[in-house]
A = this chain, B = another copy of it.
Amino acid sequence: MFEVAELGHTVEKSVYKEKSAQLRTELLTIQHRLKSCPFPVIVIISGVDGGGKGEVINRLNEWLDPHYMRTIALSEPTDEERERPKFWRYWRTLPAKGTIGVYVGSWYSDPIAQRVYQKIDDIALQTELNQINQLEELLADDNTLIIKCWLHLKKDMQVKRLKQLAKNPATNWRVTDKDRQHLGLYDDFIGVAEKVLSETSKAYAPWLIVEGSDNRYSGLTVGQHVLERIRQHIQLYENDLAASAQQEEPPKSQVEQYNLLDALDLSLKLDKADYRKQLEKHQGKLNELSRHALAANRSSILVFEGWDAAGKGGAIRRLTESMDARHYQVIPIAAPTDEERAHHYLWRFWRHIPRAGQVTIYDRSWYGRVLVERVEGMAKTSQWQRAYSEIVNFEEALLAHGIVIMKFWLHIDRDEQLARFKRREEISYKQFKITEEDYRNREKWDDYQKAVNEMIARTSTSKSPWLLVEANDKYYARIKVIKAYCECLEKMLDESNK
């Protein structure tokens, strides 16, 4: 795989000077065009030790306008990062639309190092690579341009290079014990790298292998590659823009009408006395269980979706009443801020992933993508259809980190909703909770119902199922929610005590 990068490419100083001046002009020009494009660029610089990653990064920094590019250099995770799913640190640093993020120490570093040092086996490595592919595919689907460069060195060159670095007092600090250790593992490293590169070279995110023995050569090659990829991507985007102006959306697929919601028995109810008794009992239990979960450093993510006026707020309040306000956050999802809009739609949910032991309650969530955004036409068909698997993958990443996920759909029927709207209009402090939009949404009940049915069918997994809550009676709904969360915590704690 690496033969092409063992040919001894070099670039003369005078040639370099001329070419780099020209390249810089072109990069600045393309960056200026990129600014107004609705996609970000990710550049990953990876490769063997001594392959000149630092030099390449420095050159990119020289050539590119720092207003619209950022270097993201990740080494050891901080404690805030360690307490969250492993991709959280990458999500928090993703470049915004119109800008370039250059990653050194990307999501590839850890899996490679761990496999070389035999801390994980081939199967575990494959799992990691699948997750990386999922992430890159998800970003590419959102039009992110992903440029991946691998700096290679022949074995004897690596030895030579590290010796040079070590000899020069200006660079010897860069040769760490870890590097020297790597050196002894050159062949293992190359074997793992081959596997990683071939598994993760995709049409939307191919690897460029670059010979790293001459800094001028590798700098120019990477710079030229970045330029060309960005240029192509802008071209593609502009063509798409022109094409989509004429082209219609594909006809909506005729998904069959699932009837999960219709099957619910909305007459289920609890009388007030019974409710009171059960509420007290389960709140006491939740209080205890949530303290155990905190002590065990196990976080929870609770998702509330449901019709307008289905009682999400009330159900959430009954949960939080029995929890310590220092350990949970309720995140109401409204219109995104402009920083949020400049990122992938999942970015704003990643922001609020809880630290170890904490609880995040999302009042509406990423499911908006396949509900309101679908019904109101804010997402294209291809976008919301793709979102089902994106969401399942997202939740799997949370589950893999040991986070407890519960998803509640609070269900009421149309008549009950209308009655509640009317009641809200009568209660002074609830008047502001009801707007014309609520009535407009009501008119699209059937479209929403279809979207909800499909959402549940496609995103209810065995590890992260939807709990459908019959909510025509608030008392019944609240108890069902709190009881379900208690049972879930109990099960989790039982399992971790085994």
Contact = CB atoms under 8 A, between A and B. Distances in A.
Contacts of A187: none
Interface residues of A, number: 51
Nearest to A324: B54
Contact of A317 (B57, B62, B170): B62
A381 interface: no
B326 A71 contact: yes
Looking at chain A's contact residues, the main secondary structure is helix
Interface in A1-50: 24-26, 28-29, 32
Given A73-B326, A321-B58, A429 B25 contact: yes
A28 B429 contact: yes
Contacts of A156: none
Contacts of A295: 173
A70 B329 contact: yes
B332 A170 contact: no
Nearest to A334: B67
Contact of A428 (B25, B71, B105, B334): B25
A220 interface: no
Interface string A48-76: 00000010011011100111001101000
Nearest to A65: B313
A325 B432 contact: no
Interface in A50-104: 54, 57-58, 60-62, 65-67, 70-71, 73, 78-80, 102, 104
Contacts of A32: 429, 432
Identify which of A25, A102, A105, A334 gathers the most chain B CB atoms within 10 Å of its CB. Answer: A25
Interface in A464-489: none
Nearest to A291: B173
Nearest to A321: B62
A383 interface: no
Given A104-B326, A338-B338, 13 more contacts: A25-B429, A28-B429, A57-B326, A62-B320, A65-B313, A66-B330, A67-B334, A67-B363, A71-B326, A80-B80, A170-B288, A338-B339, A339-B339
8 contacts: A24-B429, A54-B326, A57-B326, A58-B324, A66-B332, A67-B330, A78-B79, A339-B339
